[in-house]
Amino acid sequence: MARKGIFFPLKDAALRDDVHTLGALVGEVLQDQGGDDLFGAVEGDRQAAIGRRLGEAEDTIELVVRTRGRPAREAREVIRAFSAWFRVVNMAEKVHRVRRRRQYMHDSSTPQPGGMSDCFQKLKARGVTLAQALELLGQVCIEPVFTPHPTESTRRTILRQQQRIARLLLRRLDPSLTPPEQLAITEHLRSELTTAWQTAENSRERLTVADEREHVLFFLVEVVYEVIPAFYEAVEASLIGVFGREARGVALPDVLRFGSWVGGDMDGHPDVHAKTIRESCARHHQLIINRYFTEAQELGEKLSQSASRVGVSAQVLQRIEQYKTLVPAARATAPANHDQMPYRVLVGQIAERLRATYDHASGQYERASQLIDDLELIVQNLQQHRWQRT
């Protein structure tokens, strides 16, 4: 699918190249999967639509003639082809935003217009102090709310395919990639696009409240969960860049919150009731605790400090002894050679307590503050024993 009729300003030249590459790949997939007839129908419609948008009377007539009376099966395939093309173009635009942001970050003299650094610089220029800036942040509350829209509940299989395509596009930003590595990424993109074309986009069954819930939870657990820490780290980095070292380690206010109507919106929805609310809350609980458990295991692998190499506070040792009684199952998961790695032992106990929380078993965390207290204890002790970067 050629890029005729698509114009980009100079700053977006890289986006133009991405759109060209992806459009060519989609065209190859269409030819492979639907043959020359499908590719010709899509390309002909596209060119006629461009002409119509530019005010060409002949192209306007041609577009009407081409689409009128088209067999339903062919129309469905053409629509799907355009959907595939627009999907990758939208991804290219999102990746280009990442590219442009990185360009600004490499050039510290020019903050991104409308970005956080730009905002804090303008506040400082008006005489706003760090404390006042934090107070202003504390007055900000952004709360996106997920709503139930069954017709938009894309299957997780498709969403994960889109994630893989986005990651491949992000990998292409690496300037150190060799030509063979670039070619390998292109081949992986073609493979993902082909698989997506061969995969049904929607279930044959009527979507349920559970389907809506899983759709929203995909974004909460696999997208939002990953982004929130990076967001607050970016806020802190911007504050440090503008206000200096005094902004390092400041307590940032909660700016972002999220809500969801899915499973609880009983206004005119007969399938939503007390049971779906309970099920939705339980499902949220399961998925978030599972993410915490997985990350606790990963953290334990990183905190390998030995008591013979670094000091350990009495509070950490006391917490370990306390958890031997509170979460006895943790003993079976800790190898004997970890007995001199106190942080690893404690994080392993935290993981087991999270497991108990998932199962609603004895020893579970009753409140989020208990988990936060455990983690803060580790952070404070790492800082006290010459581990400044935590």
Q: Which uninterrupted H or E stretch holds 161?
A: helix 156-171
d(CA 170, CA 136): 34
d(CA 104, CA 233): 17
Q: How many CB atoms lie within 10 A of CB 378?
A: 20
Contact yes or no for 104/111 (Cβ under 8 A): yes
pLDDT, one tens digit for every residue, the chain (390 residues): 444 555 667 777 888 888 888 889 999 999 999 999 999 999 999 999 999 988 989 989 999 999 898 999 999 999 999 999 998 999 899 889 888 888 887 776 778 888 889 999 999 999 999 999 999 999 999 999 988 765 555 677 888 888 899 899 889 888 899 999 999 999 999 999 999 999 887 666 677 888 888 888 999 998 999 999 999 999 999 999 999 989 988 999 999 999 998 888 887 778 889 999 999 999 999 999 999 999 999 999 898 888 888 888 899 999 999 998 888 887 766 666 666 889 999 999 999 999 999 999 989 999 999 999 999 999 988 888 776 654
d(CA 89, CA 22): 7
Place of tokens 């009983």: 266
3-state class percentages of the chain: helix first, strand second, coil last, to nearest 5: 70, 0, 30
* Residue 178 Cα distances to 172, 173, 182, 183, 349, angstroms: 10, 12, 6, 9, 44
Identify the pLDDT of residue 150.
54
Q: pTM (2 decimals)?
A: 0.77
Contact yes or no for 329/361 (Cβ under 8 A): no
d(CA 209, CA 186): 38
Contact yes or no for 358/289 (Cβ under 8 A): yes
Identify the pLDDT of residue 15.
86
d(CA 274, CA 36): 54
What would the two tokens of residue 112 be? 């991104």
